Homo-oligomer: A and B are copies of this chain.
């Protein structure tokens, strides 16, 4: 016998795809590329990282990361520091200005979602609230499988770093 409320993965997939599109289309104030915003997000969330670590987590080549970090450094959004434990390595750290960009984009998303949630009924909001821990656990299970760092999730996290194609390419 099937459960009372059987979870339709197909439906879940579609809803998540739609939210992804919503996030992706969020316009950015500054003209930063897709990958660039993702890097800022990662650094703001996980703390300083090596270039090779970033290359792995963003799935671009190490060469691309070097070039991007050079550009971000010129713009004052990240800083390069020598790694005390390995003379070859560089630790990239987000600056206050860089973190502000991440926070700003997060705030836009929160504002948008707040607006939408306000227009739901109270039981609808409650249903989402009750599902959040389970959804968060799916993300956790995924990260664990991928081998990501176990990510401190107290606060000051996030920004999936996504951007519209227009933002990436313009100017």
Q: Which of A12-36 contact B (CB under 8 A)?
A: 12-25, 34-35
Assembly CA distance A92 to B94 (angstroms): 43
Q: Mark A121-160, 1 if CB is under 8 A from B, else 0.
A: 0101111111111111111011000000000010001111
Q: How far is the CB of A53 from chain B (nearest CB, A)?
A: 15
Taking A9-B114, A120-B138 as known contacts, 14 extra A-B pairs with beta carbons closer than 8 A to each other, sorted by chain A number, are A3-B122, A13-B110, A15-B136, A16-B113, A18-B136, A19-B135, A20-B162, A21-B38, A21-B160, A21-B161, A22-B139, A120-B137, A127-B134, A130-B131
Tally of contact residues, A, Cβ under 8 A: 71
* Contact across chains for A166 and B59 when beta carbons are under 8 A apart: yes
Assembly CA distance A35 to B113 (angstroms): 24
